[in-house]
Amino acid sequence: VENYALLRRLWREDVVTWEGKFRTPLQSFTSTPRPLDGVPPFVWHGSIRSPEIAEQAAYYGDGFFHNNIFWPADHTKQMVELYRERYAHYGHGTPEQAIVGLGGQVFMRKNSQDAVREFRPYFDNAPVYGHGPSLEEFTDQTPLTVGSPQEVIEKTLAFRDYAGDYQRQLFLVDHAGLPLKTVLEQLDLLGEEVVPVLREEFAKGRPADVPDAPTHQSLLKAQEVSVA
């Protein structure tokens, strides 16, 4: 928390004198390189289970990325709702306008039977989730989707049922010891068949008052407007 508060000052002030508990004091210090166009980057705070990170993201009005790939929906709902409530508490907008990202992990083939048959040996022996819950239990209880591109689309769109409308969706495709060739095939399926549909569906269903995640261009434009 202390280091991040300092980082924000270093991005926004040309010369910083600072003293804290956890690092060396700074005396008339200027960090380089300076933020592009004088606009500090938009920050995503990543969290798996720490409510303190949701609180920190909400305090500054930053983005909150909940890495939910090993968690059931009720845990994700709890973490995202905490962030949304605190985001509104600090006056950045309504809870629905908070900037949220979620994780996901997938393994796809053209039909689901082939996907399950091919991925099961990797899943069963993976260092993280191997020799634990079955593949079926894990896909039922977490965001892991093993199946066709259409199944990935349907399950991912359902994340909104418990997380609300959100702005960023990340996918883990290089997992469980998959060979490079297979990973590249997953990227092709994701880019060609899944992502275009998700972009269209998420945009179609998002209320007008729910913003996109900030980009450098939008932050620069907002700064120009405030100066004018």
Q: Which residues contact 124 (CB under 8 A, 6 or more apart)?
A: 130, 131, 135
Whole-number pLDDT of residue 162: 95
The pLDDT of residue 127 is: 87
Report the candidate in 201, 200, 174, 199 with the shortest Cα–Cα distance to residue 187: 174
At residue 228, the pLDDT reads 66
Q: How far apart are CA 202 and CA 177, in angstroms?
A: 31
Those residues with Cβ within 8 angstroms of residue 148's Cβ, 6 or more apart along the chain or in another chain: 108, 109, 110, 111, 112, 115
Read off the pLDDT of residues 37-67 as tens digits, 9 standing for 90 and up. 999 999 999 999 999 999 999 999 999 999 9
- Backbone φ, ψ for residue 17 (5° rounding): -115, 125
Domains and CATH numbers, the chain: 1-34 (no CATH), 42-227 (3.20.20.30)
The low-confidence residues of the chain, meaning pLDDT below 50, are: none
Q: Tell me, what's the pLDDT at 128?
A: 85
